[in-house]
Amino acid sequence: MTSKEKQTNMSSEARIDVHDMFERIVPTYDFLNHFFSLNIDKRWRKKLVKTAAVPSGGTVLDICTGTADVAVAFARSDESISVLGVDFSEKMLERGREKVKASGHADRIELKQGDAAALEAPDASYDAVTVAFGLRNVYDREKGIFEMARTAKKEGRVLILEFVPPSESLFGRIYGWYLRNVMPAIGGLISGFRPSYTYLYASISEFMQPHEILEVMERAGLSDCRAEKLTGGIAYLFHGLKQ
C-alpha cells in the first residue's frame, strides 16, 4: 500500500461501515478502551492536554471526539478553556454529553456532529486542534490533517495522538499478535460485535508510519513537527505549530 493510499483508504478487511460500527459499540466503548490499555490511555490523553499548553481563556477543537474524554480533560485542566468536540457518530456524542454533564463543565464544552475532513469551523479559530485515536477512522486522513491545520490559530498547536503499525521488534511483534488475536476475541465477546475489533487491528496495521504523518503535517503548513513515542511505540503523540 502506498503512502497516498494509507492517507485515504484501507483494505477490504478494514472497509466495514465505520459509522455503523461506532454506533453499535457505544455501550462498551469506554470500558474496553481502558481495559485493553490497562488504563494507560488515560495517561496518554493527559499528556496530550498538557502538551497543548492552551492559554488562559483559550479555545480547543477536538475532532473525532467520540465520548468526549479529551474534551472533558481540557475543560478540567483550566476553568477558562472552552472546547468544541466534533464527531460523526451521534450515539457517541449522546454518551459524550452524559459525561460532559456529569463533569460539571457543560457550560464550556459543546459537542457537534460533523465531518473531520470537512470541518465547518472558520479558519484560524482555535488555540489547539487535537485528535486522539480518531485519525485512522477519517476517510481521507490527509484532508483531516489539513483541516486541523486550517482551523488552528497562528502559533496554535496541532496534536495527533494515535496508534501506529507495530514495529518489527520483539515487543512490536508481541503487540501485533495481541492486536490480531486477543483483542478481537475479547472485544467481540464483551461488545457483541467482533468485526469492530477485527477492524481495529486492520486500521492500525495499515495506518501511516510516523514519518508519513509528519510529512503531511509539514505540507499542511505546520512547523516544528515532531513525533514522540509513547509506551514503547504503541502510540505516538505528533506535535505541530501553526505558522
Q: Measured at the alpha carbon of residue 45, what is the angle toward residues 181 and 54, in degrees to the nearest 5?
A: 155
Per-residue model confidence (pLDDT) at position 15: 44
pLDDT by residue, tens only, the chain of 243 residues: 555 555 545 444 444 578 888 888 888 888 888 787 888 999 999 999 999 999 999 999 999 999 999 999 999 999 999 999 999 999 999 999 999 999 999 999 999 999 999 999 999 999 999 999 999 999 999 999 999 999 999 999 999 999 999 999 999 999 999 999 999 899 889 888 888 889 989 999 999 999 999 999 999 999 999 999 999 999 999 999 998
Q: Cα(144)–Cα(141) distance, rounded to whole angstroms?
A: 5
Return the SS3 of 153: strand
Beta bridge partners of 164: none
**If you search the block for the grid coordinates 484532508, which residue do you land on?**
143
**Residue spans of beta strands (DSSP E) within 69-151:** 82-87, 109-113, 126-132
Per-residue model confidence (pLDDT) at position 12: 40
Q: Cα(3)–Cα(137) distance, rounded to whole angstroms?
A: 16
* Contact assessment for residue 151 and residue 129, using Cβ atoms and an 8 Å cutoff: yes
Residue-wise DSSP of 158-216: EEEEEE----SSHHHHHHHHIIIIIHHHHHHHHHS-THHHHHHHHHHHTSPPHHHHHHH
Q: Cα(139)–Cα(137) distance, rounded to whole angstroms?
A: 6
Per-residue model confidence (pLDDT) at position 164: 94
**Helix axis angle, 40-52 relative to 26-37, nearest 10°?**
90
Between the CA of residue 226 and those of 22, 57, 119, 238, 241, what are the distances in Å? Answer: 30, 26, 24, 6, 10
Per-residue model confidence (pLDDT) at position 10: 47
**Domains of the chain (ranges plus CATH)?**
3-242 (3.40.50.150)
Beta bridge partners of 161: 132, 237
Per-residue model confidence (pLDDT) at position 196: 87
Per-residue model confidence (pLDDT) at position 13: 43
Q: Is 97 exposed, middle or buried (0-12, 13-18, 19+ CB in 10 A)?
A: middle
